[in-house]
Every structure is written in structure tokens, then in C-alpha cells.
Structure 1
Amino acid sequence: MHDHVSPRIAILGAGMAGLTCAHRLHQQGLSPVIFEKSRGIGGRLATRRTDSGDAYDHGAQFVTARDPAFVDLLANLQHAGAAAAWLPRLPEQAPRPAHTWWIGASGMSSLLKPLAASLDVRLRATVSALRRQDGRWELRLAEQDHPEHFDAVVITAPAPQARALLAGVSPLADALECVDIASCWAAMLAFDAPLDVPFEAARFDAGTIAWVARQCSRGGLAGRGDRWLVHAAPEWSAAHLEDAPDEVLTLMLSALAERTDVALPPITFAQAHRWRYAMTTRPLGQPMLADASGRLWVGGDWCLGARVESAFQSGLAMAQAIGAAW
């Protein structure tokens, strides 16, 4: 499949797409290096832990599976103790989910830990520029003076970030213009008494608030007090994207009280997080972009849709294409 000298492959991003691709390449005998700008793996499969040890799943709220390969992965993750079914109480009028809601057994990021276990993942490593030189790729990292060199590059960043990185470097940049991704403000809240509502998760179709979820309903997610995660609606998030976090919190708390029609208990913790690229609204329409001659592949959930499964499918497609290239 590949030469005796194993090619050096860089993968940008340690979310579902990047780690699926890397894990499959590792199974094929290759040794990719994953660069992740954050302090932990997961991307939007994110778990935020506060200084006091409380945890919030503040990105993707659950995973569903239709693709047989993704069904198998979740079954394996459940067997390994990394995934669990989530059955929160929903509002009385809410329809039951058509597919099982899967979450990480100790936070959403734990879904990816088994995939990353045997991989070379470099955290807090931001690729600031790349260029093609003498048949190889040169990567510039914001955190170090000297560049790194690779035979192939896989980019799994959100489409706008991937496009910025590829501008003037590859014609693949132009193909990313058609992708649209909505933003989302998330609020992580803790109250000193239970919020008096008859549900543990709810989705709302109109208004400022799009989603709420009680964190203690999520299995092994550590924490004290009554903790909630609140997602603002895409339109509202876009309108307030550049607002200060404290201003956003004030508005979201007011909207939460209005939406639930209850008096909010005293707040013991509140933090807002801005997901600039949260949910694909117009996907690429194919599982990846490839420049095989240039040894460059680009993918992510935005290729096929807004679901975590879409990221898995993209990562798998890229791994298969890379395997065929060597």
C-alpha cells in the first residue's frame, strides 16, 4: 500500500474527522501527526471543566448513528465504557427521538479518547501557515520558531478556517466558498437550587434560546449544584457574535427565565462560550476535497451536513483516499 519509508502525514484538527482519519491510517500502518490548537481533543465534541472541577458538555449535545460503520464505532465505544445512551426527560409535547442519543460516558470528549489513545497528538499546536516546497509541505506553527515538513497534509478545520489557510496555496480554497456554517453562543450555568422545570432537555424552535440541557442528567459528567447548558439560536448568536461574553450572559439569562417561565435560583457559576463555527447550514455536498497530486486532503462535518456522523464519514473517506495514494 505504501513505500517502505512511511510517509509523514500531518492532520490538522483533533475532532471527530481528524481522529477518525488518523485512527484508520494508524490501523493501516501509517503514523500521522495530529496538530490541535486547543488544550484538549474533541473539537465541538467538547467538555469544559471549570477550576472547581465541574464539567459541562458545551458543544455537540449528543450523537446519532445511521451509517453502519458509525453504528459499529458507537457500539465499540459503548463496550469500552466511553459511550452511553442518554435518556433525559423531555417536555411532554416533545416527540421521542427517532434514533438513540449517544453521549460520552464522562463528557462528550471521552467519545474520542479511545481513537486518540495510540496516536501522536500535539495539543496547543496552531498551524499558522503552510506552503508547498520541493514536493513536500512546510507547516509553520505559531508556538515554535522552526517549521515542520510533511509528505501529505489533511485539514479538518471548519471550512472558513481551512479556506484561509489554503488561500494562495491550493485551488481547493475556492471550492470552500459555498459552505455556510452558523455560529452559536453557549452559556454554562450553575444554580444553588434546582431549576424548577419538568424536563432535563428541551429544544425550542423560536426565540433567543434554542436548547437547554441539565448536566447532571448526562451520566458521569462530574459536578455540583444544578448545572445547565444553554445554546442560543443561530440567528440570535449571529446578531450578537461580537458582543462581550458578560453582555451575552445577561441577555441569555433573561431569555432563559422568560422561556421557562420560572424565577431563576441564585447563580453560583456562569460562563459564556462563543462557537464561531457551530453548525453547518449549507454543506459541500461530498465527503471531502482532494488534491492527490499535491498530497492534500480537506474535510470535516461541513462536507456532508451538521451531524457528528458527517465528520466521521468525511474522516473515513479521507483515510481511504490516502491509503490508496501510497
Structure 2
Amino acid sequence: MTGTTNPRIAVIGAGMAGLACAHALRQRGLSPVVFEKSRGIGGRLATRRTEHGDGYDHGAQFVTAREAGFTALLETLQHAGAAATWSPRLPAQAPRPTHAWWIGTAGMSSLVRPLSASLDIRLRTTVSALQRQAGRWELQLAEQSVETFDAVVITTPAPQAQALLAGASRLADALESVAIAACWAVMLGFDAPWAVPFDAARFDTGAIAWIARQSSRDGLPGQGDRWLLHAAPDWSTAHLEHTPEEVLVLLQSALATQTRVALPPLSFAQAHRWRYAMTTRPLGQPMLAEPSERMWVGGDWCLGARVENACQSGLAIADAVAASL
């Protein structure tokens, strides 16, 4: 591809990894095309809004920064009004956070929205297959159309990337070592304030791993007392194929049991299954690459479970792609 004028680069996935990569490529004067099967950007940095306009951050609850590069990005987002620190009331016995908790100012999706500016993003567009033809990549779209690109970057969860790569690239085999846990998320709205003395809490045992009062997150729109809970990985795996309605009943009961505080009457309840929520066994390197085939694969699952890991992987891929042009 060296010497190619305006090479066509496809980025599959519009989560943090894909958008960080595409944004970095755009800053280098390239014009990547981002494909996202969902109706919005952000992946697990998602903000769900109900028909009444109430907001729930039902994926990643906050991000932390350990490295200088991601710290600088968060500070830039803060100066732009897109990011803020979050210091919810925690249970009295809970340990204090070691690193600052960062959230989006209008929901977690605010953290990636500035990265998407000026990008060509195709929402609700599923890439169903890849095929190498005459030194280029043909992307089969679910709409039965085909688009051709000089280079492809895949930033979907590892199992989805492996399915796309199967039969198309030998990189598929390397993804066998990655493990990602599922998570059921439940969004609850109460008619009256729920009388617990905290705004967020972790649980080491039981069906529920995390709960957070959404109204404690400045800028997240909504009325009333709204809560988000994440089920524990083992529980989520055991109930992975249950219906949302079944999960709602089970986790509402578990919530009252684990907090020992009765729940007020509900005004809203909805469950969402994150099939690939948290990396439990990462790849151990920032990306997979086959430069001779112009193929790069990455995501948070390369380095760990944090959003920062996704950003690191996306930026490493952007550097590798740019170096190959």
C-alpha cells in the first residue's frame, strides 16, 4: 500500500478503541470509514435514554487513568466540557478509590463523542464477512452490499473479531486465548427515593456486583431516583440466555436481599445483556497485526478490562497503520 493515494481504511467498531484509532488516523490526514452495527457510538461507553428522556449509563460506570497519554486525553475532554470527575457517596466500610473516577458530563458516551467529530461513521451497518481479493479487502455488509478497502482495522470484542477473521486471516487463531465475561445490566426507576446511605456500592458476593444512583452523576438527564445495577460475572454467565423479564424479577429480589433495604414502587425497569462485558484473560499485547495483508485487530481485551486499555490499543493500531502507508 506504500505510495497509494488516499488509501481506503475501514475501522470496524465505534467503541473507544475504534474511535481512538480512527481519530488518530484522521489527525494524520487519512480518511478512515468507521462501521458500527449499533445505533450509536461508544460501545460499552453507552448512555441509554428512555422514552421519557431519562438517562442511564448502563455500560462502563466510570473510567480511570494510569498512563500519561490517557490522563492527558481526559484532561482535554474536561477542558472541552465533555468529562468530569465523579465522587459518589460510598458505603462507610468501602475502600476509597486509588484513582479518580471520570464520567461523561452528559452520560458516558460524552467521552467518545469529541473523538467522532469529522469522522465518516456508518451506524446500524453490520460487516458480516471479509474476503481478500487482489491485494485488497472486500467487506460484505448485512445490507448485501460490498465495499472494498486497502486496509482493515477490527476493534470489536474478541469473539466477534474471531468470527470475522475465520477463513480470512490466520490472526483468528491468536484470539483463542482471550476470555471475556458477560454482564446483565438492569436499569430501575423508583417513584420515591430509595433509602440507602450511599450512591454507589460494590458487592463481593451475591448476584449483584455493582449498583449506582444515576442522579448522582452530574449532567445525566432524568427525573426521580434512578439506579443501575450490574450482575456478577458468574451469575450473568449462568443466566446468559434468560429473558430480560426473568432477569428483572431475579435481580430486583437480589437487590433487596443484598442491601437489606426494601425497594420503593417502580416507575421504570429494563434489563440489557452485555454478552462481552469484561476481559478476564487478555491477549497480553496492544494488538494483532498482519501488515503484509493490511489487517490490524485490537480492543481493550488486548491489554485488560479498562477503557484506558481500549484507548491504548486503538492508538497503537493507528501508529502501526500510519507507519505502513
Shorter-normalised TM-score: what interval? over 0.9
For residue 260 of structure 1, report the CA deviation from its aligned partner: 1.1
Q: Which residue of 2 aligns with 1:121?
A: 121
Secondary structure of residue in 2 paired with 1:290: strand
1:99 aligns with 2:91: no
How far is 1:146 from its partner?
2.1
> Following superposition of structure 1 onto structure 2, how do residues 233-312 of structure 1 map, counting pairs within 5 Å?
233-312=232-311
Q: 1: distance between equivalents of 2:44 and 2:107?
A: 12
Q: Which runs of 5+ in 1 are unaligned?
A: none
- What is the identity, as a one-letter code, of the residue corresponding to 2:107? G
TM-score by length of 1: 0.99
Q: Partner amino acid for 1:160?
A: P
1:263 Cα deviation from its structure 2 partner? 1.1
The aligned runs of 1:169-184 (5 Å cut-off) are 169-184=168-183
Percent identity between the aligned chains? 73
Matched residue, 2:25:
25
Give every structure 1 segment of 4 or more consecutive aligned residues whose post-TM-superposition deviation is greater than 3 Å: 1-4
CA distance in 2, matches of 1:65, 1:314: 14
Tell me how many residue pairs correspond in the alignment.
325
Spell out, residue by residue over 1:57-113, the C-alpha distance to the aligned partner (whole angstroms, 9 max, x if none): 000000000111100000000000000100100000011100000000000011001
Amino acid corresponding to residue 134 of structure 2 in structure 1 = D
Matching of residue 72 in structure 1 with residue 72 in structure 2: yes
Cα offsets for 1:176-205 (capped at 9, x unmatched)? 000000000000000000110000000111
Q: Which residue of 2 aligns with 1:49?
A: 49
Superposition RMSD in Å: 0.9
Instruction: State the distance in 1 between where 2:21 and 2:252 align.
Output: 39
Distance in structure 2 (CA, Å) of the matches to 1:121 and 1:182: 28
Residue type matched to 2:288 in 1? L
Aligned to 1:34: 34
- TM-score, structure 2 normalization: 0.99
Q: In 2 relative to 1, CA 2–101 (structure 1 residues): closer, same or farther, beyond 3 Å?
A: farther
SS in 2 for 1:241: coil
Post-superposition shift, 1:145?
2.8
* Residue identity in the other structure for 2:48: R
| Structure 2 partner of 1:225 | 224
1:4 Cα offset (Å): 6.1
CA distance in 1, matches of 2:156, 2:109: 17
Aligned twin of 1:59: 59
Give the 5 Å matches for 1:179-190. 179-190=178-189
Matches within 5 A, 1:307-326: 307-326=306-325
Q: Which runs of 5+ in 2 are unaligned?
A: none
1:184-203 correspondence to structure 2 within 5 Å: 184-203=183-202
- SS of corresponding position for 1:287: coil
User: Aligned AA for 1:245?
Assistant: P
Query: Could you say which residue in structure 1 is the equivalent of 2:146?
Result: 147
Q: Specify the code of the residue in structure 2 equivalent to 1:180.
A: A
